[in-house]
Structure 1
């Protein structure tokens, strides 16, 4: 069973439609029964990775302890927001 109910093409269509609409992200997400966070994540991943960023992850990614500590230090040193660092380091989720 897929994790996402939307294909990459559908996600891209929704992103494009949102960007051309004059709606706020909250109004758009409510209208299309989506989560605001999901739309933001899709847009960030699409900007960073193109259409491949919208594809469903087939397996969980594992990161080394050193890599995790590097990101935590960057956050604690004020080098960016959690979402910004997630995008900078190519992570799929802020958690």
Structure 2
């Protein structure tokens, strides 16, 4: 029997149904005739790249041999699951990683992927203002790291790290860390108050960004429902 293909819209609708399900994952997958692994990969693609993640790729994605080796060694260390390694290194699918593991264990050299996808952008130097702008745009657009990487011409890894640092330390997390920084014990009472105010501002900004993204999703869902016959 031929394997069924799904459009980007169908995948999106199934993800919404999956997130709102009242049954177990197993029952949902049986009802929809979809493997658990498949629906989980769709959820990951949507969370990391938005609906664009469902579009068929028009070219190969480039991976450096160093990345391939690091991914394989991380998996074989036992510290990460297959899925965790795929997400950590932004690998397109579990099957790609499994192929690398097979080649590595078969003592075949892991080489650079020859053809290059436009989304693989090298990192570049940025100012604090640029990093802050990039982070805020990323948060307001559902942490679509790939989209932000291509839009601002910085690497996926840079965007990911900046967002994580901002969520942890706010604007201070995006500053150049070279040089001495006071520990919390070294702070004066006034500095501690300022630090707490910055933390609250950071949390409020994060909540505003998340609310803006949720409103955007609600609008997409309303438009989808209107299109239904």
Query: Would you call these one fold, judging by a TM-score over 0.5?
Result: yes
Partner of 1:28: 28
Task: Give the conservation status (yes or no) of the 8 Å contact 1:83–1:94.
Answer: yes
Distance 1:71 1:48 in 2: 19
Task: Give the conservation status (yes or no) of the 8 Å contact 2:67–2:89.
Answer: no
Larger-gyration structure (1/2): 2
- Please state which structure has a larger fraction of its residues in helix: 2
CA RMSD of aligned residues (A): 2.0
TM-score (norm. length: structure 1):
0.81
Task: Give the conservation status (yes or no) of the 8 Å contact 2:11–2:42.
Answer: yes
Distance 1:86 1:4 in 2: 24
Report the Cα offset of residue 79 of structure 1. Answer: 4.4
Alignment of 1:5-84 (within 5 A): 5-84=5-84
How many residues get paired? 93
Distance 1:73 1:93 in 2: 17
Report the Cα offset of residue 65 of structure 1. Answer: 2.2
Higher mean displacement: 77-86 or 24-33: 77-86
Q: Structure 2: where are the runs of 5+ without partners? A: 96-229
Deviations 1:36-88 (A, max 9, x none): 11001001111111111222233443533222101112223344211011012
